[in-house]
């Protein structure tokens, strides 16, 4: 997964900001961080608070897709990411594009 740096993007996000991005509780983000510690390792500030880089957020987006949208168990999601991260990312992106197209078609159908 290629993440393009943008001048308007922040370098690091707090756990609260990340939870808001995904519409989840901070406790779930903390749990996923602990469960997926081999592939998800946010930095910590002097107080010990987690600071997530854009790459961490992309990994969390993949975890969120597999667990919440596809209904996978945590161990299955972990295995899928380790074994075929690139293929999983492509699959996630394709599904998101198809859902967007479906939404557009439904909007067009309403106007007819």
Averaged pLDDT for residues 13-33: 95
Cβ count near 76 (within 10 Å): 13
- Model's pTM, two decimal places? 0.79
| pLDDT above 80 (res 93) | yes
In the predicted model, is pLDDT for residue 51 greater than 50?
Answer: yes
Which of 13, 16, 85 has its CA nearest to residue 53?
Answer: 13
Give the per-residue pLDDT at 56. Answer: 95
Q: Structural domains in the chain? A: 13-84 (1.10.1660.10)
């Amino acid at each position: 997964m290629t993440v393009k740096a943008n001048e308007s993007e922040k370098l690091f996000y707090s756990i609260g900001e990340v939870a808001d991005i995904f519409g989840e509780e901070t406790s779930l983000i903390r749990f996923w961080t602990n469960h997926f510690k081999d592939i998800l390792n946010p930095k910590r500030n002097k107080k010990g608070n987690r600071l997530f880089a854009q790459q961490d957020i992309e990994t969390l987006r993949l975890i969120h897709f597999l667990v919440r949208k596809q209904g996978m168990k945590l161990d299955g999601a972990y295995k899928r990411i380790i074994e075929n991260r690139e293929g999983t990312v492509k699959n996630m992106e394709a599904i998101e594009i198809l859902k967007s197209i479906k939404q557009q078609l439904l909007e067009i159908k309403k106007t007819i």
